[in-house]
Chain A
């Protein structure tokens, strides 16, 4: 035993050193491509476009089909270079055409035109410089007592972003009854994630570096000297640090709902009642969120902390204003947005209109814009066609569910019920925008974007008040919700509502056109519909019932076959690095849910296609590859590998295609071809 001690110690030390050294090393291309079907080239970066020419369809479908398109693209990222990017560009062009059409008049479009004047007249914005910001910083300087803090938080005319120490929103309650409640949370923070205030890590330090540069730039221009800025930033951090450490849980508490009396009791001397009254939230009796935080907030809401609170308000106002000021501020925002530690990252400038509509889309005015867009462009025929495809997809899913050999009859019944009760929100939100009382100052009247924000933010919170005091249906689609803008190019499935959202944005050329062939439609937006519907039964959402409540509708034993597919995908993706320096897929970057949904989407689209005589499979598969064609920066790809639960576009194309016999038959594939996958390795669960 004694003889073994020394060698054992040395071996352990050596192995520790080796294992630790290997922690940072990334797997090489050779190591990662042990699984044959990942021998495909990364056909989504410009470096490989020339190489795509020599690739055959049998070995790398994505590269071969998209070579011609890719070779015509320039490294111009004004819009994302992809079908989705093109659709984005078309939506923006449509919005511009709508604003330019002076024959189209109503309150909503009038508001957007005022905002357009304030933003897109760059010379006017530049002439204002940082004056709008200085005006609102001045209001914060006027604060002397804790009562002044209360007055500031409840006076929207002085507080453009309605900054307060408790943020108000509304949200469904997942575990109780699915009804909405007023959701309370900490305010937005300089470092964005509360976790960085507990353990800052390098990502937090990076964020700190970026934000401080922005604050310094703007405050210097507002006449603050370096010492004052430094003092202000430190005071703001100190206050934020104290805020977070009142209760640093990052997890949303969906498990409890409290009454108004309980919440007001918790708030103590924090003027929460004044906040509620300001937004006319007098009848709401359902509150949820960060109660521990609210409970402890009064301990720091006192005269002693007034200066730190003021510093926090100033920092928030400065950061929130950045994109609404002049060209200098915009350039600072863009320059500091580049990740200095990423050698591939570089500044990307989009079109001016892209930013304008993006900024509108971040506010409640998104409702005005979307309502105007609907009024101008909505086509009932398109909605009917989409609805008809959804009906067909549901029929196909019913067949797949019934033929599933892993599920018991009871489970099949529950899954069928979930499918039948699936909510369908197609193109049209449930409510209409109403900004009847809003009067914004135009540029001719000397208005500014920040002045407008005072009213817009007030309208947003007034709307939150209305929502929490109304009875909403399960699939209610709120037009005021920036995350659910119908003009966004996208589609989604909401687990808590068991509802799909198909937005007008995604039904835009080149993803959708009325005259396209059936094959092209099935290969693009119908596959998306199938994809979204399949999320109702994926590994994460199968635990929710037909009403979006958390109850396992299939047993854990039955879940085993889903888990098996998931492991298979993990094994195939893990360690794969698209290009040297990109970083590899790891077990934590779980693309399995989306990979399965992609394959399911194509499966049902194929089933629909089979019903039509003379269905052209080649055109269908090419349609899918065209739909997902993409060229992106290496930095964007690096970020996607690390953070996106969707696989990179060329992997989405190839990995999905090789799941199907029809694909193999269409192109005469055989074992050894890059696009051939042994049937035992397929990932379809339905």
Chain B
């Protein structure tokens, strides 16, 4: 299992598009800090601007980048081949992929938290313990929301084997979804919205923490929001049938893409 997770992680983070886009996101953090510094600078402004960057740019794009990076051509087929090549069960393959994605997401948020703290220190934001605490809490709760949303997006990834749908799902529920539903004043609608959108659940959880109230019920809800899509993902992966791949006519190429390399490796493993 560990081997499978490792392989999954390294295959993902070695992708050029993942490296470039993630680097861009972190450069964005630095650029945002410089912009705040040159415009209007104090601890609260820095924390708010950073929070906005995380909410509107980092959170939705990080997941989208990850979904794009874990995508392989003929997604399900190759995932199955990969699992079988390791002599593992399919459900272990799903576990591995979910865990790998969560680890990558979690690590990216840890790097983000460190970078935010470091930049605040370097640029002299003079952040109080309270402001720092609130910002770190925000990053942590956003990270949990991102993980839950990612798992749901993964379900769509397996279902359609096409990264656009999960990316839309992910970006909407990390960005627009939480904003749209937070505007609904009616109790019932709000509760329904909260129960399906991890971002909204975590927003309420964060509010509770900031106001000295720990909400076990919201944490429980988050666990459900993780478990249900995970089980759905498992189901889809398990039910998928491995069809014989029809050879496609290809034009002569001089270069081989990363995806094709991965496919070649997994195919070779099957042969062995």
- CB distance B45 to A198 under 8 Å? no
Instruction: Tell yes or no: B48 within 8 A of A by CB.
Output: yes
If A9-B163, A238-B212 touch, does A340 touch B168 (CB 8 Å cutoff)? Answer: no
- CB distance B21 to A341 under 8 Å? no
- CB distance B207 to A17 under 8 Å? no
**Residue-by-residue, is B38-49 near A (CB-CB < 8 Å gives 1, otherwise 0)?**
011010110010
Name the residue in A10, A197, A234 with the highest tally of chain B Cβ atoms < 10 Å from its Cβ: A197
**In-complex Cβ contact of B71 among A9, A199, A202, A206 (8 A):** A9
Which B residue's beta carbon lies closest to that of A292? Answer: B187
* Docked complex Cα distance between A195 and B181 (Å): 13
| Interface SS of chain A | helix
Instruction: Tell yes or no: A512 within 8 A of B by CB.
Output: no
- 8 Å CB contacts to B: which residues of A185-203? 195-200, 202
Interface segment out of the listed B57-65, B87-95, B219-227: B57-65
- CB distance B186 to A249 under 8 Å? yes
**In-complex Cβ contact of A340 among B42, B56, B65, B200 (8 A):** B42
Instruction: Tell yes or no: A209 within 8 A of B by CB.
Output: yes
Q: Kindly list chain B residues whose C-beta atoms are within 8 Å of the C-beta of A247.
A: 187
**Residue-by-residue, is A661-676 near B (CB-CB < 8 Å gives 1, otherwise 0)?**
0000000000000000
Name the residue in A9, A208, A237, A247 with the highest tally of chain B Cβ atoms < 10 Å from its Cβ: A9
Instruction: Tell yes or no: B104 within 8 A of A by CB.
Output: no
- CB distance A241 to B204 under 8 Å? no
Instruction: Tell yes or no: A248 within 8 A of B by CB.
Output: yes
Instruction: Tell yes or no: B206 within 8 A of A by CB.
Output: yes
- CB distance B213 to A237 under 8 Å? yes
Instruction: Tell yes or no: A205 within 8 A of B by CB.
Output: yes
**Residue-by-residue, is B96-138 near A (CB-CB < 8 Å gives 1, otherwise 0)?**
0000000000000000000000000000000000110010000
- 8 Å CB contacts to B: which residues of A629-686? none
Q: Kindly list chain A residues whose C-beta atoms are within 8 Å of the C-beta of B164.
A: 5, 8-9, 12
- CB distance B213 to A198 under 8 Å? no
**In-complex Cβ contact of B207 among A198, A242, A340 (8 A):** A198
Measured as residues with beta carbon below 8 angstroms from the partner, the interface class of chain A is 35 or more
**Residue-by-residue, is A197-239 near B (CB-CB < 8 Å gives 1, otherwise 0)?**
1111010111011001000000000000000000000110110
Q: Kindly list chain B residues whose C-beta atoms are within 8 Å of the C-beta of A241.
A: 208, 211-213
If A200-B211, A238-B212 touch, does A20 touch B61 (CB 8 Å cutoff)? Answer: yes
Shortest beta-carbon distance, B225 to chain A, in Å?
17
B contacts with A, residue count (CB < 8 A): 44
**In-complex Cβ contact of B187 among A2, A23, A248 (8 A):** A248
| Interface SS of chain B | helix
Which B residue's beta carbon lies closest to that of A23? Answer: B56
If A20-B61, A240-B211 touch, does A5 touch B163 (CB 8 Å cutoff)? Answer: yes
Q: Kindly list chain A residues whose C-beta atoms are within 8 Å of the C-beta of B71.
A: 9
* Docked complex Cα distance between A251 and B182 (Å): 15
Instruction: Tell yes or no: A122 within 8 A of B by CB.
Output: no
* Docked complex Cα distance between A205 and B138 (Å): 12
* Docked complex Cα distance between A249 and B48 (Å): 26
Instruction: Tell yes or no: A612 within 8 A of B by CB.
Output: no
Instruction: Tell yes or no: B139 within 8 A of A by CB.
Output: no
Which B residue's beta carbon lies closest to that of A8? Answer: B164
- CB distance B211 to A238 under 8 Å? yes
- CB distance B182 to A199 under 8 Å? yes
Instruction: Tell yes or no: B247 within 8 A of A by CB.
Output: no
* Docked complex Cα distance between A247 and B186 (Å): 10
- CB distance A9 to B213 under 8 Å? no
* Docked complex Cα distance between A17 and B58 (Å): 9
If A17-B61, A21-B57, A341-B48 touch, does A251 touch B211 (CB 8 Å cutoff)? Answer: no
Q: Kindly list chain A residues whose C-beta atoms are within 8 Å of the C-beta of B190.
A: 198, 248
Shortest beta-carbon distance, A126 to chain B, in Å?
30
* Docked complex Cα distance between A10 and B208 (Å): 38
Which A residue's beta carbon lies closest to that of B40? Answer: A343
Q: Kindly list chain B residues whose C-beta atoms are within 8 Å of the C-beta of A235.
A: 212
Which B residue's beta carbon lies closest to that of A340? Answer: B44
Q: Kindly list chain B residues whose C-beta atoms are within 8 Å of the C-beta of A557.
A: none
* Docked complex Cα distance between A8 and B56 (Å): 22
Shortest beta-carbon distance, B211 to chain A, in Å?
4
- 8 Å CB contacts to B: which residues of A228-280? 234-235, 237-238, 240-242, 247-251
Instruction: Tell yes or no: B26 within 8 A of A by CB.
Output: no
Shortest beta-carbon distance, A386 to chain B, in Å?
40
Which A residue's beta carbon lies closest to that of B46? Answer: A341
Q: Kindly list chain B residues whose C-beta atoms are within 8 Å of the C-beta of A21.
A: 57
* Docked complex Cα distance between A241 and B130 (Å): 19
- CB distance A251 to B167 under 8 Å? no
* Docked complex Cα distance between A242 and B207 (Å): 12
* Docked complex Cα distance between A13 and B69 (Å): 11
- CB distance B187 to A249 under 8 Å? yes
Shortest beta-carbon distance, B48 to chain A, in Å?
5
5 contacts between A and B (CB under 8 A): A5-B163, A24-B52, A24-B56, A204-B207, A238-B212
A residues whose Cβ falls under 8 Å from a Cβ of B: 2, 5, 8-10, 12-13, 16-17, 20-21, 23-24, 195-200, 202, 204-206, 208-209, 212, 234-235, 237-238, 240-242, 247-251, 340-343
Q: A13-B21, A20-B57, A20-B60 are in contact. List 4 more A-B contacts (CB 8 A).
A: A12-B164, A199-B203, A200-B210, A249-B186
B residues whose Cβ falls under 8 Å from a Cβ of A: 17, 21, 39-40, 42, 44-45, 48, 51-52, 56-57, 60-61, 64-65, 68, 71, 73, 130-131, 134, 162-164, 167-168, 171, 175, 182, 185-187, 190, 200, 203-204, 206-208, 210-213
Return the 4 tightest CB-CB contacts between A and B, nearest first. Answer: A343-B40, A234-B212, A237-B211, A200-B207
